[in-house]
Amino acid sequence: MVQHFSPPKSLHSNRLGAAFYGRPTAVVAKELIGKALLHHVDGQWLGGWIVETEAYLDQGDPASHSARGKTASNASMFSDPGTLYVYPIHAKHCLNAVTQPADQGAAVLIRAIEPVWGLDVMRRLRGYDDVRRLTRGPAMLCQALQIDRGDDGRCLVSDERIGVFTDSIPRVPVIRATKRIGISKAKHRNLRFVDVNSEYLSRKVE
């Protein structure tokens, strides 16, 4: 029997398509704020509203993983727009959405979400009851949504179990661009995008 995994009702049929991801990376990073990231795990949707992202560019960005060229570890970053690029860091993981046309090596790091769906499961996976400690950072986010290196290369556009969606009544967050976090190169560039009114940012906006 073929199973279908429909997202929550308000998001049904509002999945972002390849055309959304195929645009300039900074544009995608900004416009992902206020969208819903969802992962279907063990019969339940886990996820929430994206409140913080960072753009990593294909040219002139030494902080980007693609700056060293295509390798076995970053190959997904050069795949079609909407592909997941998941990489390990300190025994944890970070989730990126590939942007622009294939073979360019650009992506958006999803740094934080406001947790909404599957809170009990996310609490168990994270080991905390406080919702503010579930998804306020890229590694926390992946742990809460049960995403790891095995999910690298999946497709946000076509995979029924994972995707990014718009609400039937689109959210209108107040977005600000700031400097990226935790990098040693190209620190001056304002390529981090945040919902300034969110309580779930990995770091407050100064």
Q: Does position 78 have pLDDT exceeding 60, yes or no?
A: yes
H/E element, 193: strand 192-195
Q: State the average pLDDT over residues 117-141.
A: 97
Both tokens of 71, joined, read 């390798």
Question: What pLDDT does residue 72 have?
Answer: 95
Q: State the average pLDDT over residues 14-41.
A: 97
Mean pLDDT, rounded, of the chain: 94
Question: What pLDDT does residue 113 have?
Answer: 98
pTM above 0.85, yes or no: yes
Task: Categorize the per-residue pLDDT at 18 as very low, low, confident or very high, splitting at 50, 70 and 90.
Answer: very high
Per residue in 97-121, pLDDT tens?
A: 999 999 999 999 999 999 999 999 9
Domain borders along the chain are 9-195
Question: For residues 12 and 82, which has the higher predicted lDDT (pLDDT)?
Answer: 82
Question: What pLDDT does residue 193 have?
Answer: 98
C-alpha–C-alpha distance, residues 80 and 62, integer Å: 22
CATH code matching the domain that covers 9-195, chosen among 3.10.300.10, 3.40.470.10, 2.60.40.420, 3.40.50.9100:
3.10.300.10
Question: For residues 1 and 172, which has the higher predicted lDDT (pLDDT)?
Answer: 172
Question: What pLDDT does residue 170 have?
Answer: 76
Contacts of 55 (CB under 8 A, 6+ apart): 25, 26, 28, 29, 99, 106, 108, 109, 191, 192, 193
Question: What pLDDT does residue 167 have?
Answer: 86
How far is CA 90 from its chain centroid? 19
